[in-house]
Chain A
């Protein structure tokens, strides 16, 4: 029987099928961070058990770390306690792949995982973080779990879950100029709504998806949780193999592991005739640079569009929170903050896009811009590729790696009532700080806002 890509990877990891549809699913790679792991470590201690496969866990500190003066001692308090505890927990439980604050490999968990080759096609990957869906870009089955499940993975390298339904979203055609993977993601969510993917795992297919870089595919899969899906997945291809090859934890070429791995990875695609529970098709030519106007990621429109009339009480509440009215154009709206970063758009490609766009322009007066690389590798490349000089000349500063203003757990908070064009993933009420108003967009739209101080169509502004 023809199988989907998702079925192939999931089925290969079922240790035991339980009555009632649950599977005991083996997990190849477990990522952890400081916020959702402490209670799970506490659980192990209470039970007096060790981590079953500590080598398969990679740990980093990212959610709650400062993005300035990382080398300076942290102020005593809850954040410091949480980071110290991660350090103690990793040492006590023998997690050797631990990259805490000030480790040269520290960074956002979903950025460093792929960068160091921990993420590979065909794997099952979990983390106590909903944006674990990012790793699906490699043809892995990757999804977020709760802290109880983090403890389950520690205890047995397995979790118990029912198999989700399968959805395929095909985007064919060529993306227009100024249209990025982020716009594809926001467009899809605006079409199928913020709950449209719930219960499903989404395979992204079609020529427009094939044409995306690994960075672009990661952005797209990252956002799959924002339509409620368990995760997103893209069939691995030469683009994938090229990215993984030679990375520190990738299969070794010297001993033949690499060739064996690639031979297996090449079998990971949805067979002709494979059946999905739900299918959507979109035309790449219909996708414009996008921006959100409300308080869930499904409330997005083309940047040249207007705010739709509310259809529910919740929509009314959202517009009230945002200080917007139905019928207003997005173009020209005033912006206070710009945030480039996060596991959605904190990769080198995003910094290239932003820097090349602002080259020769100046940051607008009154704009506070936070440019936060996703990892030290991204930070280093920004410097090596000369992007930092471009950014400095345009009046921008680079901060240090971390999740930062995406969830505003650290000091990077947008003040109440202020508007932030953000390359992150969520525009929920208060997500970027109590009362903050978030407009999700691509790095290119963020660049245009940063130099004009308002919402601007990047295709017009950066026209050569």
Chain B
């Protein structure tokens, strides 16, 4: 259960989530500082206080709620890293770009796709009460707006759900498949 931070903009691309000039690091750390950099800071590096992610007096929580087609554009996994590193664990939108959805799931960040109508209700709820609570139940695949009691079921690949619940790792699994991959290669020759 958590309150949520709303960014009610459609087509938020990965260049907005983390601009290219911050992709120069060679280790996976610290990207959260530059999450939504150009929306959070002016050209002169002044904080833009009313951007919801900056408005900590009003908004808090580990759920990010955003408009349709979230995460479109570049494949940079840094976008998922930045959102996770900042402290979010769930992103809610009415539509996600494919690569972003995959990258999020590979990094313990849960993308929840809700209907456009429910998304709009969620924004309304947050608008009425910026600390309104939402409950995410991964095991049962539901998200609930505690204020209205409304709930929606969301889809998630069964394998990725197991991974998120149990902290499994794709690379470990694939390494165990190496003999099978060798057989495949031999068959194709």
Do residues B24 and A79 form an inter-chain contact, with CB atoms below 8 A? yes
Given the contacts A198-B69, A198-B98, A409-B24, A36 and B77 also touching, CB distance less than 8 Å: yes
Please name all residues of chain B whose beta carbon is closer than 8 Å to the beta carbon of A18 when the two chains form the complex. 159
CB atoms of A194 and B15 under 8 A apart: no
Q: Which of B99, B172, B174 contacts A146 (CB 8 A)?
A: B99
Contact B175 A156 (CB under 8 A): yes
Report the bound CA distance from A426 to B181 in whole Å: 37
Q: Who on chain A is nearest to B21 by CB?
A: A409
B157 — which chain A residues lie within 8 A by C-beta? Answer: 20-22, 162
Within 8 A of A (CB), among B2-61: 8-11, 13, 15-16, 19-21, 23-28, 38, 43
The smallest beta-carbon distance between A8 and chain B, in angstroms, is: 14
Do A22 and B171 touch (CB < 8 A)? no
Q: Is the pair A409, B23 in contact by a Cβ cutoff of 8 Å?
A: yes
Given contact pairs A42-B27, A144-B99, A296-B72, a sample of 8 additional A-B residue pairs in the complex whose CB atoms are under 8 Å apart:
A15-B184, A64-B23, A148-B170, A152-B170, A157-B181, A230-B98, A317-B9, A426-B15
Selected from A42, A146, A409, A435, the residue in CB contact (under 8 A) with B102 is A146
Question: Is A296's CB under 8 angstroms from B13's CB?
Answer: yes
Q: Is the CB of A155 within 8 A of B171?
A: yes
B174 to chain A, nearest CB (A): 4
The 8 A CB mask of A45-89 against B (1 = contact, 0 = none) is 001010010000000000110000000000000110110010000
Using Cβ atoms and an 8 Å threshold, which residues of chain A touch B84?
none
> For chain A residues 144-177, which have a beta carbon within 8 Å of chain B?
144-149, 151-152, 155-158, 160-162, 164
CB B52 to nearest CB in A, in angstroms, measures 14
Q: Which 8 pairs show the lowest CB-CB distances between chains A and B?
A: A78-B24, A156-B174, A146-B103, A146-B77, A144-B75, A148-B106, A38-B26, A20-B158
B141 within 8 A of A: no
Q: Which residue of chain B lies nearest to A408 when distances are taken between CB atoms in the complex?
A: B20
A-B contact pairs, 28 of them (CB 8 A): A15-B180, A20-B158, A24-B174, A24-B177, A35-B23, A42-B27, A52-B178, A63-B20, A64-B23, A128-B77, A145-B102, A146-B76, A146-B77, A148-B77, A149-B106, A160-B170, A160-B174, A194-B11, A195-B69, A198-B69, A228-B98, A230-B98, A314-B11, A317-B9, A409-B20, A430-B16, A430-B38, A435-B43
Cβ contact within 8 Å between A52 and B181:
yes
A429 contacts chain B at the CB level, 8 A cutoff: yes
Q: Which residues of B contact A36 (CB under 8 A)?
A: 75-77
Q: Can you list, as one digit per residue, whether each of B150-189 has a CB less than 8 Å from chain A (1) or not (0)?
A: 0000000111000000000011101101101100110000
CA distance A156 to B25 in the complex (A): 25
Say whether B177 contacts A147, CB under 8 Å.
no
A416 to chain B: which residues have CB within 8 Å?
43
Contact A408 B171 (CB under 8 A): no
Kindly state whether residue A460 has any CB partner on chain B within 8 Å.
no
Q: Is B77 a contact of A195 with CB atoms below 8 Å? A: no
**Contact at A16–B95, with CB atoms within 8 Å?**
no
Q: Give Cα distance in the complex from A82 to B22, angstroms.
A: 12
* A446 smallest CB distance to B (angstroms): 21
Chain B contacts of A324 at CB under 8 A?
none
Residue contact B77 to A429, C-beta cutoff 8 Å: no
Instruction: Assess whether A155 is in contact with B175, with CB atoms less than 8 Å apart.
Output: yes
Contact between A15 and B181 (Cβ–Cβ < 8 Å)? yes
- Does A312 interact with chain B (Cβ within 8 Å)? yes
Interface residue? B122 (CB, 8 A): no
Say yes or no for B107: interface residue by CB 8 A criterion. Answer: yes
Interface size class of A (residues with CB under 8 A): 35 or more
CB contact under 8 A between A195 and B97, given known A36-B75, A130-B75: yes
Minimal Cβ-Cβ distance residue in B for A41: B26
Residue B80 CB within 8 A of the other chain:
yes
Closest CB in chain A relative to B89 CB, distance in Å: 17
Does B67 touch A at the CB level, under 8 Å?
Answer: yes
Docked pose: A157 CA to B23 CA in angstroms? 25
B24, A434: Cβ atoms closer than 8 Å: no
Closest residue to A42 on the B side, CB-wise? B27
Cβ 8 A contact of A148, one of B25, B98, B103 = B103
Whether A151 touches B171, Cβ cut-off 8 Å, given contacts A144-B75, A144-B99, A198-B97, is yes
Contact A198 B95 (CB under 8 A): yes
A43 within 8 A of B: yes
Min CB–CB distance B70 → chain A (angstroms): 10
**In angstroms, how far is the closest chain A Cβ from the Cβ of B166?**
15
Report which of A128, A164, A194 forms a contact with B72, defined as CB distance below 8 A.
A194
| Residue A199 at the chain B interface, CB threshold 8 Å | yes
Judge whether B15 and A146 touch: CB under 8 Å.
no
* A148 proximity list for chain B (CB < 8 A): 77, 103, 106-107, 170-171
Decide: B16 and A428 in contact? CB cutoff 8 A.
yes
**Choice from B11, B26, B43 contacting A82 with Cβ under 8 Å:** B26
CB distance from A52 to the nearest CB of B (A): 6
Q: CB distance A81 to B74 under 8 Å?
A: no
Q: How far is the CA of A408 from the CA of B180 in the complex (A)?
A: 42
> Is A26 interfacial (CB-CB < 8 Å)?
yes
How far, in whole Å, are A148 and B28 apart by their CA atoms in the complex?
11
A39 at the A/B interface (Cβ < 8 Å)?
yes
Residues in B whose Cβ lies below 8 Å from that of A161: 102
Kindly report which residue of chain B lies nearest to residue A18, judged by CB atoms: B159
A313 at the interface (CB under 8 A from B): yes
Could you tell me the distance between the alpha carbons of A160 and B177 in the complex, rounded to whole angstroms? 12
Q: A39-B27, A144-B75 are in contact. Are A430 and B178 (CB under 8 A)?
A: no
Give every chain A residue within 8 A of B102 (Cβ-Cβ): 145-146, 149, 161
Contacting residues of chain B (67-93) with chain A, CB-CB under 8 angstroms? 67-69, 72-78, 80
**Alpha-carbon gap, A311 to B144, bound state (A):** 30
Please judge, given known A-B contacts A20-B157, A81-B26, A431-B15, whether A152 and B171 are in contact too, CB under 8 Å.
yes
Say yes or no: B98 contacts A82, CB within 8 Å. no
Q: Is A238 an interface residue (CB 8 A)?
A: no
Whether A20 lies near B159 (C-beta < 8 A) is yes
B11's closest neighbor in chain A, by CB?
A296
Query: Which residues of B have CB within 8 Å of A157?
Result: 181
